[in-house]
Structure 1
Amino acid sequence: MKVLFIAGDEFEDIELLYPFYRIIEEGFKPVIAGKERGGKIIGKHGYSVIADVSFSEVKVEDYLALVIPGGRGPEKIRTLPEVKEITRKFFELKKPVAAICHGPQILISAGVVKGRKMTSVSSIKDDVIAAGGEYVDAPVVEDENLISSRHPGDLPFFASSLIKMLKGKKM
């Protein structure tokens, strides 16, 4: 039961690491995707992770859910065709997608926001609305398969919603 994390340099360290370790505690296997397999991805505050797979190697069918941490990482990878395709495929298959902070920038670029209730960091609220999303200012917003949160202070709510959804969707 693998959960995919997509990350780019300058990701918000705690927004990747907190859910990463929480899902391990619950018996799921996190897998990090980056630009290149084995590549080092450096967080905004200096923590780093190694990509288990490249974006181009990802087979969405092999994963239970997608987690998109915030920080500046989403901005750096949001235009990559593979990242947009991965994201769209998770939505097409109605698999859980959890995005926090600036993570919804990837959802916007992938064209999956229209008609969805969600939240994000306040600085991209206008982008969510312009993409057709219904912005809700709350610690966590669940809309079908989509989970979203605003910032690191919301992580307990974000991780709790993610775990609840994962337990309901076991493969």
Structure 2
Amino acid sequence: MSLADKHVAILAEDHYQELELHYPRLRMLEAGMRVSVVGAGKPEYASAKGYTVKADVSAVGVDANDLDALIIPGGMAPDKMRRHRAMVDLVCAVHQRGGLVAWICHGGWMAVSANILAGRRVTSFHSIRDDMVNAGADWFDEEVVQDGNLISSRTPDDLPAFCRALLEKLG
């Protein structure tokens, strides 16, 4: 299967971190993949700085079997995302079927809420380290941590390595 046959979803909610949503979105599009922005039900979401992104579909309308990867950007959006059962269930379903689940920064909160971290190696923004560890993860302060179908990074500075890891895994 070529990259052009891959379908990647990126979760969106209000207060997302701009670079952490748009940088991977553009890199995956550039690689020829189909990319869908998945929201909680609104037509668009505003970043922490007021930039908007349009949702292509609501989480309730997404079948995890149609996705090769799911990307969770950070900012404070993941705290809002995890209040939507359909978004948490989507993360869980993609993970359970062996699809790639990737997050950066506070995106790890969604992995905590989806209960997919027990015994796994991960990273995140340092302020949610305790949440990750309390969910059973082994946390590392590294720009990218890969463990099977999980890829995680810490901050926008890690985005080049994060996207390289995504493209390598999907390729």
Which TM-score applies when normalising by structure 2? 0.95
Q: Give the structure 2 partner of residue 57 of structure 1.
A: 61
- Runs of 4+ in structure 1 over 2 Å off: none
Deviations 1:28-68, CA, capped at 9 Å, x for gaps: 0110111226x111111222111100010011111110000
Q: Give the structure 1 partner of residue 167 of structure 2.
A: 163
Q: Give the structure 2 partner of residue 9 of structure 1.
A: 14
Secondary structure class of the residue paired with 1:8: coil
Secondary structure class of the residue paired with 1:102: helix
CA positional deviation for 1:157: 0.5
Deviates more, 1:43-52 or 1:130-139: 43-52
Distance 1:146 1:77 in 2: 19
Amino acid at match of 2:128: I
Distance 2:40 2:153 in 1: 25
CA positional deviation for 1:77: 1.3
Q: Give the structure 2 partner of residue 31 of structure 1.
A: 36
Secondary structure class of the residue paired with 1:21: helix
Secondary structure class of the residue paired with 1:66: strand
Say yes or no: does 1:101 pair with 2:115.
Answer: no
Q: Give the structure 2 partner of residue 142 of structure 1.
A: 146
Distance 2:81 2:102 in 1: 17
Secondary structure class of the residue paired with 1:108: helix
Say yes or no: does 1:75 pair with 2:79.
Answer: yes
Distance 2:90 2:39 in 1: 12
Amino acid at match of 1:146: L
Gap runs ≥5 in structure 1: none
The number of residue pairs the alignment matches comes to: 166
Please tell me whether the aligned partners of residues 40 and 87 of structure 2 are also in contact (alpha carbons under 8 angstroms). Answer: no
Gap runs ≥5 in structure 2: 1-5
Distance 2:49 2:68 in 1: 29
RMSD over equivalenced CA pairs, Å: 0.9
1:118 pairs, out of 101, 104, 122, with 122
Q: Give the structure 2 partner of residue 20 of structure 1.
A: 25
Which TM-score applies when normalising by structure 1? 0.95
